[in-house]
Amino acid sequence: MTLHATAKVINYEMSIRKFLVDNLQTIEGIELLWDITVPDPDLLNQMLSFSKWVAINLGDMDRGEFSRAFFEMYLTTRNDPDGLILTELSDTVMGYLSDTDVPHGMKRIQFYETTINPNNAALWTSIGGILVQDVTESGRIDYGDGLKYKILTVVTRFASKV
């Protein structure tokens, strides 16, 4: 027996990726990196032209009728002595993770079932919503070498059939 589309980790991860790429990368022009932690010296050498970026690590998932999943976002800036660029980056990202048009302020992200067609194009079929339940923001961390970062820990919830 196969898992229902709402209980598949791949659909959750692809939905989060699509949301972040469509908004942070495409609209805001913020570089996104996946499944790394902040500053890896070898990776930094490849990113010398970046002044700011966000690294995303998709984390644990508790599957159930009202599933819970976590991800971390490492917001990083370079050559930002007073941390204002990092603060601005944090405000931008938080703007996409919240919704001031609803009383509870929780953002709803479209939840998709994702399939790849023979031309290697993703097909997105809406299967519900992912609620951003909570975002915990760390303090500013000075990594040295002109790097500063903050960590956003994001808790999401969504209905699923398991």
Q: How far is residue 114's CA from residue 131's CA, in Å, rounded to a whole number?
A: 18
pLDDT of 115: 86
pLDDT of 119: 77
Has residue 141 got a pLDDT over 70? Answer: yes
Which residue matches tokens 């805001």? 28
Boundaries of every domain in the chain: 5-159
- From the list 6, 5, 53, the residue with the least C-alpha distance to 157 is 6
- From the list 147, 14, 154, the residue with the least C-alpha distance to 77 is 147
Sign of CA dihedral 43, 13, 116, 28: negative
Has residue 97 got a pLDDT over 90? Answer: yes
Residues 6 or more apart in contact with residue 152 via CB below 8 angstroms:
72, 73, 75, 90, 93, 94, 97, 135, 136, 137, 138
Q: Dump pLDDT digits (tens) for 6-57.
A: 999 999 999 999 999 999 999 999 999 898 765 555 666 666 678 899 999 9
Q: How far is residue 160's CA from residue 66's CA, in Å, rounded to a whole number?
A: 6
Lowest mean pLDDT among 46-55, 73-82, 123-132, 141-150: 46-55
| Token code pair at residue 51 | 């002044």
Largest CA distance in the chain: 55
- 5-159, which class in CATH? alpha beta
